[in-house]
Structure 1
Amino acid sequence: MADLAAIAASLGEVLHRSGIPATPERQARFAASVVDIAPGTLDELYWIGRITLVSDREQIEIYDKVFNQVFRGIINFDEYLRKSQKPVSMNSKHADESQPAATGSGDRKEGDDSAGSSATPGELLDESEAGEDPSILAAVSEIELLRERSFAECSQDELNLIAALVAKLPLVPPRRASRRSARSNHGNELDMRTTLRKSRATGGDPILLEMKKPKLRPRRVVLIADVSGSMEPYARVYMHLMRGAVLALHAEAFVFATRLTRLTRFIGQGKPDQAYKKVAENTPDWSGGTRIGKALLAFVRDHGQRGVARGAVVVIVSDGWEIDDPLYIEQAMSRLSRLAHHIIWVNPRKASSNYEPLVRGMSAALPYVDTFVSGHSLRAIQEVLDAIHRATDSTSIHRHVA
């Protein structure tokens, strides 16, 4: 099956442009449901999407058409939506005229409604027909192979495709308990005010105890990426993830090679190409040497005590290669661990089956890391996003290094 996060983003984006309010929250719910249920057929995938992305009976017809066309590649949606006055007011006749019939459907005739959309998911999602469509098979196979391939082994065209998929990944922020509370049947704290107010109806005796629990708010996320020479194949992909995090989560973005550079105000502005050009202009040490310790010390000094690091989930992307004394890394990480809520270290070298954190910089940092992941491929980036979302309670490093 194609990359699940990419499926959620692509389907959700087209649904949203077609008039169905597929919010990032709904897209995230769809992606999480696909991961949990692991559908084995397109029929199952259809129903997961319909349950999580559709909120009104009137949206079902639109959803059916969009789902059919996204997964069968009948039309190019960008081109179609530019030309169409009503984005999804399309019937099967229009679908037939816009593209030739799908391969493997030779017994269908030009006016056959089954070529466009169907009233039942069984017709939309016939696996035997889907399996005969070379366009969808090619797309699925290409993405599936790229999911596992290390960024360092990808061609430039493959990296461009991966970057486009990464830019559409649904991002779900970690949560923290706020000082405000809300009534809840599952709360663990007595709501005294509400309990006493309701007791007036029972002569002042509190027959029913009302409970409450803290409201949840998004926790700040900070991403710090190593853009030195050894991280070059990975850094460019992570720029797309950083842009997505800045836009979706209001995250803070930094990069470093020999010095720390804050990118938040550049990477989230304008169109992607313009943003990345700004990033390049403001990162003169890109592909240079690596001074991890001094860069992290600068981050703690400038953004620590009263800055963005306090209480944040901090994600550091680096292979741990350090040209300075690793004592700088140990000092920086020790201070950062007391400020941040949770530290995630992403090291692509960890993907190797015989990897051991023997590099001096990595071994100095690891005792202060809560979650240690590789993030070397498209699939592994999803593990990074999962780690960010799960960073609610502090976890032990021993769970993640094996």
Structure 2
Amino acid sequence: MTNIDHLNPPTGHMADNVIGFARALRAAGIPVGPGAVIDALNALQVIEIGNRGDVYTTLEAIFVKRHEHALIFAQAFDLFFRAAEDWKHMLDSVPLPDHAKKKPPPASRRVQEALAQPSMRDETQEVQQQELKLSVSDKEILQKKDFAQMSAAEIAEVTRAIANMKLPQAELRTRRYQPDAKGLRLDMRRTLRSSLRTGGEIIDIRKLGRIEKPAPIVALLDISGSMSEYTRLFLHFLHAITDARKRVSVFLFGTRLTNVTRALRAKDPDEALASCSSSVEDWAGGTRIATSLHSFNKLWGRRVLGQGAIVLLISDGLEREADAKLAFEMDRLHRSCRRLIWLNPLLRYSGFEAKAQGIKMMLPHVDEFRPVHNLTSMEGLIEALSAPPPPHHISRIRSAA
């Protein structure tokens, strides 16, 4: 067997194509380092370069390290080498493996955007120019700009910013104990056991401390037509905090309630959002908040609201059937959780007043009433989730104009 570690990496068009392909994979979200590029160039010397299937398998084995990246790699390979004129002789030979012929993955849009970037020829220079164009003032404007007023390019930029958000771990003290050198409780069993080594003399006193776990988060997201301009970005935010915390439950509601917790745990954000949309039948439809809250309280409340859960209710509160049932279900939800935070995009208006009947019925049963319409408000929410709970009266927080 030939030892490819001693081969010299090829140069010319083939090397340029492999390097460009690696850059496209990085832009699409697959971590590819320079070491993997060198390995790929060396490996291509020991296979039949005219066999497209062999090239695909070789590059996949080197560049793909996680299962969720396989479909992204297949989409990127097909798009990139279809456009690579220098490798046309490779495209007419053996077809791709079967799993590369599947329906394009949800991340295909991200792959196409990555391949459309002009950075394939001179990545460093182009990135520097793009960074210079995005001035400090532009970033400040993007931070405060309403999601509903953003262009497609701005939404893509915001999506990347949301993916990079880090959610602090707000710890919740439990009733259980664990060994802790700085604990305040004596661990008699471990202390006596250690004294056996010294003939019964107690030299090392062992202690116990409280076990702290991050508080569970339960998100109830309104996906009705009036919330359509915000729904996708909120799902990106929920995916980001789901990736940071394992104890996150997500429910979508319009005219009915849908549990998308498992779908949102997919590593790739586009795949997670596509899975959510395929499991929901009432996307961008009407709003029945009372009915949805009743279903949640009856079927899921006891399962996910234990251990001091924090509930995020993301809705504009425009209920089509506002009656006493809505107030009852909100009160039941409020009593079942540690904190109930209502995130309402309508708070972006400085003159907002709770005139709608549904909002009036819901407002007395929440701990915090916050806006969530731009990056600044989302960052404020992250800070609030890691802060101690506020007093029992409603805390209304408005974003900067």
Question: So what's the TM-score if we normalise by structure 2?
Answer: 0.62
From the superposition, tell whether residues 265 and 195 of structure 1 become closer, same or farther in structure 2 (CA, over 3 Å). Answer: closer
Q: Say which of 12, 32, 35 aligns to 1:85.
A: 35
- Find the aligned partners of 2:31 and 2:320 in 1 and give their Cα distance: 52
Counterpart of 2:176 (choices 180, 183, 204) is: 180
The answer (yes or no) to whether the contact 1:190–1:212 under 8 Å persists in 2 is: yes
Q: Deviations over 1:264-298 (max 9, x none)?
A: 12222263333322222222211111111111111
Q: CA deviation at 1:262?
A: 0.8
Change (3 A) 1:296 1:386: same
Tell me which residue corresponds to 1:397.
Answer: 393
Match of 1:358 in 2: 355
In 2: Cα distance, 1:99 partner to 1:363 partner: 54
1: distance between equivalents of 2:122 and 2:152?
A: 32
How far has the Cα of 1:236 moved from its partner? 1.1
- Aligned match of 1:276 in 252, 273, 298? 273
Match for residue 233 of structure 2?
A: 237
Residue equivalent to 1:373: 370
**2: CA distance between counterparts of 1:350 and 1:363?**
14
Change (3 A) 1:81 1:240: closer
SS at match of 2:210: strand
Does residue 191 in structure 1 map to residue 186 in structure 2? yes
Q: In percent, how many aligned pairs have the same letter?
A: 26
Q: State the structure with more CA Rg.
A: 2
Residues 293, 328 of structure 1: 8 Å contact kept: yes
| Cα RMSD (Å) | 3.6
1:345 aligns with 2:342: yes
Is the 2:366–2:394 contact (alpha carbons within 8 Å) kept by the matching residues of 1? no
How far off is 1:148 after superposition? Answer: 0.3
Aligned residues: 288
- Aligned AA for 1:82? V
AA aligned opposite 1:174: A
Aligned CA distance change for structure 1 residues 328 and 143 (closer, same or farther; 3 Å): farther
Deviations 1:289-337 (CA, angstroms, capped at 9, x unpaired): 11111111111111113x1123311111001111002422211111111
2:146 maps to a residue whose letter is S
When residues 194 and 265 of structure 1 are mapped into structure 2, their CA distance, relative to the original with a 3 A threshold, is closer
How far off its partner does 1:231 sit? 0.8
Question: 1:300 touches 1:309 (CA, 8 Å); kept in 2?
Answer: no
User: Deviation of residue 177 (structure 1)?
Assistant: 1.1
Matched, 1:135 2:130: yes
CA distance in 2, matches of 1:370, 1:296: 17
- Classify the secondary structure of the residue corresponding to 2:280: coil
Structure 1: distance between partners of 2:126 and 2:154: 26
Instruction: Give the match's secondary structure for 2:32.
Output: helix
1:147–1:77: structure 2 CA closer, same or farther, 3 Å change rule? Answer: farther
Q: Please, which runs of 5 or more residues in structure 2 have no aligned partner?
A: 1-22, 38-120
The one-letter code of the counterpart of 1:85 is G
Q: Does the CA-based 8 Å contact 1:297-1:331 persist in structure 2?
A: no
Residue 288 of structure 2 is matched in structure 1 by: 291
Which stretch of structure 1 is more off in the superposition, 363-372 or 373-382?
363-372
1:248 aligns with 2:198: no
